């Protein structure tokens, strides 16, 4: 399993034999010739305590939250391990080193590296901020590396093509916001179009109903046809219940003699 170097630093180291807390990881000691993590450097408490390290082959497991070893004795004084002491005297600082190709192209600066938790072998270098104007980060496989120097790492000529480029987190956020905005706008536009189509159909139905509506009676508001007025109806509406017919209206009337009063 691959582990990131920055995640391992500050992890507690625990003994499986007695469950004791041996210390915390202060750093990783790298063997540049073997391109491996050679040992874990422990954080020492006190001013006069000698530096202790754990050779990587004594590491039982590198977990998500802690590192385990079989025994507390797995941690030894650095002076008692000559090979590791030599590496510590002239340490290889992988993180912060500049990566340059054989033909003089700067690929970037190492911000982090990954290694195999079982063997300690370095797998990839994570680069950023190079003269090739790489946006975001890029991962370079260690197989492209010729030399792990003390301050500069040399890669093969043409290693640019082996870079696995990643987008900048800020660029990913901007892209995500832009994509979300586009989706919201498309949804709003579709909803508005459907609403407009529904409103248009409603207006068309209303106009069609108005055109097909039968004409209403001018004197009434209930749309019923006007009924003819009969002669009897008119006669009943006049005083005395009678009305002169047209013939009677045109004929001269005879004066009736008046009876003198007694």
Strand partners, 137: 128, 166
Backbone CA torsion sign across 168, 174, 177, 178: negative
pLDDT tens per residue, range 109-134? 999 999 999 999 999 999 987 655 55
The pLDDT value recorded for residue 183 is 72
pTM (2 d.p.): 0.61
CA–CA distance, 131 with 206 (Å, rounded to integer): 70
Q: With contact defined as beta carbons under 8 Å apart, do 38 and 120 qualify?
A: yes
Mean pLDDT of the chain: 79
Q: Give me the residue label for tokens 């003994």.
A: 15
Under CATH, which architecture does the 2-89 domain have?
Roll (2.30)
Task: Express each pLDDT in 186-214 by its tens digit.
Answer: 777 777 777 777 777 777 776 677 667 66
Helix, strand or coil, per DSSP, at residue 53: strand
Contact by Cβ (8 Å): 235, 242: yes
Q: What are the pLDDT digits (tens) for 144-161?
A: 999 999 889 999 999 999
98-166 under CATH 2.30.30.240, yes or no: yes
Question: Comparing 2-89 with 98-166, is the CATH topology the same?
Answer: yes
Report whether 22 contacts 15 (CB < 8 A): yes
The residue with tokens 């696995």 is 164
- What does the pLDDT look like over 38-75, one tens digit per residue? 999 998 776 557 899 999 999 999 999 999 999 999 99
Q: Where are the domains of the chain?
A: 2-89, 98-166, 178-209
Examine the pLDDT at 218 and tell me if it is beyond 50. no
Please state, as a whole number, how many other Cβ atoms lie within 10 Å of the Cβ of residue 121.
Answer: 15
Instruction: State residue 179's pLDDT score.
Output: 63
**What does the alpha-carbon distance between residue 35 and residue 125 come to, in Å, rounded to a whole number?**
11
Reduced to 3 states (helix: H, G, I; strand: E, B; else coil), residue 164 is: strand
**By percentage, how much of the chain surpasses pLDDT 90?**
53
């Amino acid at each position: 399993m691959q582990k990131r170097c920055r995640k391992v630093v500050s992890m507690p180291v625990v003994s499986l034999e007695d469950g004791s807390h041996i210390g915390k990881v202060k750093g990783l000691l790298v063997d540049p010739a073997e391109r491996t993590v050679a040992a874990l450097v422990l954080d020492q408490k006190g001013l006069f305590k000698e530096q202790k390290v754990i050779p990587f082959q004594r590491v039982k497991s590198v977990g998500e939250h802690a590192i385990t070893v079989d025994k507390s004795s797995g941690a030894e004084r650095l002076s008692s391990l000559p090979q590791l002491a030599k590496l510590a005297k002239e340490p290889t600082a992988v993180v912060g080193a500049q990566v340059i190709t054989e033909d003089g192209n700067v690929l970037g600066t190492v911000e982090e590296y990954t290694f195999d938790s079982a063997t300690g072998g370095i797998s990839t270098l994570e680069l950023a901020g190079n003269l090739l104007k790489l946006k975001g980060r890029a991962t370079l496989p260690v197989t492209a590396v010729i030399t792990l120097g003390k301050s500069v790492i040399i890669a093969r000529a043409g290693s640019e093509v082996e870079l696995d480029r990643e987008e900048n987190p800020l660029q990913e956020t901007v892209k995500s916001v832009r994509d979300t905005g586009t989706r919201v706008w498309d949804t709003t536009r579709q909803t508005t179009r459907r609403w407009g189509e529904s409103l248009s159909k409603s207006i068309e139905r209303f106009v069609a109903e108005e055109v097909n509506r039968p004409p209403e009676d001018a004197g009434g508001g209930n749309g019923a046809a006007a009924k003819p007025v009969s002669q009897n109806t008119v006669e009943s509406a006049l005083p005395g219940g009678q009305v002169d017919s047209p013939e009677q209206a045109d004929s001269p009337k005879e004066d009736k003699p008046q009876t003198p009063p007694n």
